[in-house]
Amino acid sequence: MTHMEEDFKDDTDKGLFDRHVANMRWAMDLFDEYGAKLTFESDQPFAKANSIWGVNALKEVVDRGHGVGTHAGFGATRGVTLTVDQLAAKFKENKSLVDALVGAANNKGVSGGTGPTDWVLAASAAGFGYSDAVTGFGYLSMPVSARPDGWTNQYILKTAYHDAIPPELANRLYPRLLADAKDLEPDADGVLTMMGGDIGELASLGEGRTNCFPNCVLDATDVAAVVAAIVEADSIRDRSRVARLNMHIPMVLLDKKNETLLRQLLGEIKSYADKGTVTWATQVGSYEGFISW
């Protein structure tokens, strides 16, 4: 999945918007060659830009068989704790912009918006069915007793805020229904699916470091790390359950200058798809597969 971030200037800079759209189209062409799927999750600036500049790029994504979702660059606001209703209203504001472009049926999930407020109840109240790419921020709504050892507020806010959770891949592979954001234990009466399976931002995987930005470099070690995650996941997963892997490929990496490495990545994954080890899916496709399992 790729985030059209909250600090993008697409709604005021047509040149930037045009470049983003061109790179999105190029990336979809590339991924199509390998039977691969992208999901673009949009925050407000890019969603607004689709209307401002008269190019519905997000609808084009859906029409081409790729995925769309909502991005929410808020939630863990330092020093401010929103009520559930306030957080739900912020989720709804972002969701409505994407809904207007692709329809609510194609926009069922959100990435971001986690923090000290109960993000499960808020996202559900806003109409989302799932949350993906949940990071350390998601633990801030939970008592320390419901977090891994050492995951204090200070540790999360200074170090692990963008680390995938739960920390152990074996616990992170499976989507889970949650009734609230008090813990990550699955609930039979859950209202929101936490999708799981995250392995992090692509260019950071080879470094093996927490939040290495801006020192992350996309290279062959990152491709090797993705392959290693596939091999590990396949060796440990419970085959009676839906298991998934999800990587974040920032928009800056979806550029022709990275074509060789991206082809290497897609080719490696295709070898596992050809063997039936993995199946590509959009975020919403993965969610729908889980709830119908």
Query: What is the mean predicted confidence (pLDDT) over 139-143?
Result: 97
CA distance 20 to 48: 14
What pLDDT is stored for residue 185 in this prediction?
Answer: 97
Closest to 24 in 3D by CA, of 78, 155, 220, 49: 49
Give residue 81's pLDDT band: very low, low, confident or very high (50, 70, 90).
Answer: confident
What length is written for the chain? 293
pLDDT in tens, 227-274: 999 999 999 999 999 999 999 999 999 999 999 999 999 999 999 999
Coil, helix or strand for 73? coil
Give residue 77's pLDDT band: very low, low, confident or very high (50, 70, 90).
Answer: low
Structure tokens at 183: 């813990």
Do residues 182 and 222 lie in contact, with contact meaning Cβ atoms separated by under 8 Å? no
Structure tokens at 175: 């989507």
Half-sphere exposure of 61 (CA within 13 A, CB side): 33
What pLDDT is stored for residue 49 in this prediction?
Answer: 98
Placement of tokens 């799932």 in the chain: 130
Cis peptide before 166 (omega within 30 of 0): yes
Residue 211 has pLDDT above 70, yes or no: no
Give residue 80's pLDDT band: very low, low, confident or very high (50, 70, 90).
Answer: confident
Residue 210 has pLDDT above 80, yes or no: no
What pLDDT is stored for residue 97 in this prediction?
Answer: 98
pLDDT in tens, 113-131: 999 999 999 999 999 999 9
Give residue 208's pLDDT band: very low, low, confident or very high (50, 70, 90).
Answer: confident
DSSP letter for each residue of the chain: -EEE-TT--TTT-HHHHHHHHHHHHHHHHHHHHTT---EEEE-HHHHHHHHHTT--HHHHHHHTT-EEEEEE--S--TT----HHHHHHHHHHHHHHHHHHH-GGG--EEEE--SSS-HHHHHHHTT-SEEES-BGGGGGGS-GGGS-TT--HHHIIIIITTSBSSSSHHHHSS-EEESSSS--S--TT-SEEE---EEEEGGGTTTT-TT-TTS---SHHHHHHHHHHHHHHHHH--TTS----EEE--GGGSSGGGHHHHHHHHHHHHHHHHTTS-----HHHHHHHHHT-
What pLDDT is stored for residue 239 in this prediction?
Answer: 94
Do residues 278 and 269 lie in contact, with contact meaning Cβ atoms separated by under 8 Å? yes
The reported pTM is 0.96
Percent of the chain with pLDDT over 70: 97
Do residues 195 and 173 lie in contact, with contact meaning Cβ atoms separated by under 8 Å? no
pLDDT in tens, 35-56: 999 999 999 999 999 999 999 9
Give residue 151's pLDDT band: very low, low, confident or very high (50, 70, 90).
Answer: very high
Domains and CATH numbers, the chain: 2-291 (3.20.20)
Nearest-Å Rg of the Cα atoms of the chain is 18
Residue 292 has pLDDT above 90, yes or no: yes
Coil, helix or strand for 12? coil
Residue 133 has pLDDT above 90, yes or no: yes
Placement of tokens 């997963």 in the chain: 237
Give residue 213's pLDDT band: very low, low, confident or very high (50, 70, 90).
Answer: low
Percent of the chain with pLDDT over 90: 92
Please state at what angle helix 220-236 crosses helix 259-274, rounded to 10 degrees: 20
What pLDDT is stored for residue 87 in this prediction?
Answer: 96
What pLDDT is stored for residue 207 in this prediction?
Answer: 86
What pLDDT is stored for residue 111 in this prediction?
Answer: 97
The amino acid present at 138, given as its one-letter code, is G
Give residue 178's pLDDT band: very low, low, confident or very high (50, 70, 90).
Answer: very high
